[in-house]
């Protein structure tokens, strides 16, 4: 009986937190489609991943209704997984997979020209392999404990490699040009914060599922991992304009002006605005992903 109440509490609080994060997703989605002018492929990708989030949210609400309303107090129903719960797990893991592919593509583009072709392929291939392994373990219909544990572990390792590579490559772009340093620092900060937040949820999910799988204490973390992936992806796409901070250069002095008296010195006050500081090997383009110059 104690496990049944723990399961109900886990489902309730997991759905409540998920609804709050889903509201953030909707706000980020509205901001993206109202202010960004990306190409049709980028918009289709964002629309598809948000559509999967809507489906996942609907399935979660059905799961909450199934356990907390329709079958409340029925031990046999609460002690088993509903079909909608299994469908929600499939949807959530596919959302996480798409987000990890987004990161893998960024790593592949960022490392172009910096490493040898073999190392570049190995890094990107490892991220993709771990992401696919995590997806396959989620889809294991036997739902063995070790499969779900391996799924969390491989997903965690995929994020570690992607984040570590991004931070290392971005740090190599640091120079004496302050806008470049500002942009690189901002992207490094984003990568680290994204990894920390998602890793905390993955760690709790892994530990609680391994130690106490019957209590469902891992459910609130599972229900919200995909939300964090989508929110972090949309946050990056929506923050591109703020990353391109204008740089004002004033009071520039010019020397001898051709066609004038060489003895005459001309002081000219000019303001130059750099609206899109570009790193030496890549830029954050209006297409959304990090692209090579």
Per-residue pLDDT of the chain (293 residues; tens, 9 = 90+): 557 788 888 889 999 999 999 999 999 999 999 988 888 999 999 999 999 999 999 999 999 998 888 887 777 677 677 888 888 988 998 999 999 999 888 888 888 776 677 788 888 888 898 888 888 776 664 455 556 667 777 888 888 888 888 888 888 777 777 777 777 888 888 888 888 999 999 889 888 888 887 788 888 998 999 999 999 999 888 887 766 554 444 444 444 444 444 444 444 333 334 433 434 334 443 334 444 33
- Give the integer Cα–Cα distance in Å for 29 and 52: 13
H/E segment holding residue 54: helix 40-65
Beta-strand runs (E) in the chain: 247-249, 253-254, 266-267, 272-274, 282-284, 290-292
pTM for the model stands at 0.76
Q: What is the per-residue pLDDT across 70-120, written as a single tens digit (0 to 9) for each?
A: 887 777 677 677 888 888 988 998 999 999 999 888 888 888 776 677 788
pLDDT at position 8:
86
- Give the integer Cα–Cα distance in Å for 107 and 45: 18
Q: What is the per-residue pLDDT across 181-203, written as a single tens digit (0 to 9) for each?
A: 777 888 888 888 888 999 999 88
Q: Which domains does the chain have, with CATH numbers?
A: 2-246 (1.20.1070)
């Amino acid at each position: 009986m104690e496990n049944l109440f723990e399961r109900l509490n886990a489902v309730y609080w997991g759905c409540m937190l998920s609804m709050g994060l889903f509201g953030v997703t909707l706000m980020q989605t509205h901001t993206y489609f109202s202010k960004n002018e990306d190409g049709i492929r980028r918009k289709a990708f964002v629309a598809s991943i948000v559509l999967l989030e809507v489906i996942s949210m609907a399935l979660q609400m059905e799961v909450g209704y199934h356990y907390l309303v329709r079958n409340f107090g029925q031990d046999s129903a609460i002690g088993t997984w509903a079909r909608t719960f299994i469908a929600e797990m499939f949807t959530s893991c596919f959302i996480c997979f798409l987000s990890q592919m987004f990161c893998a593509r960024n790593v592949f583009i960022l490392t172009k020209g910096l490493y040898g072709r073999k190392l570049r392929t190995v890094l990107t291939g490892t991220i993709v392999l771990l992401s696919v392994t995590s997806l396959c373990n989620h889809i294991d219909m036997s739902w063995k404990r070790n499969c779900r544990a391996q799924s969390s572990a491989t997903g965690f390792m995929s994020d570690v490699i992607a984040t570590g590579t991004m931070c290392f490559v971005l740090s190599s772009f640091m120079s004496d040009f302050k806008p470049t340093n500002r942009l690189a620092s901002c992207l490094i900060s984003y990568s680290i914060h994204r990894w920390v937040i998602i890793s905390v949820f993955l760690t709790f999910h892994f530990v609680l599922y391994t130690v106490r799988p019957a209590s469902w204490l891992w459910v609130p973390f599972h229900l919200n991992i995909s939300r964090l992936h989508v929110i972090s992806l949309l946050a990056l796409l929506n923050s591109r304009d703020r990353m391109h901070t204008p740089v004002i250069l004033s009071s520039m002095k010019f020397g001898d002006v051709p066609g004038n008296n060489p003895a005459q010195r001309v002081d000219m006050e000019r303001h130059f605005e750099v609206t899109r500081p570009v790193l030496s090997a890549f830029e954050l383009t209006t297409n959304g992903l990090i692209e090579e110059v």
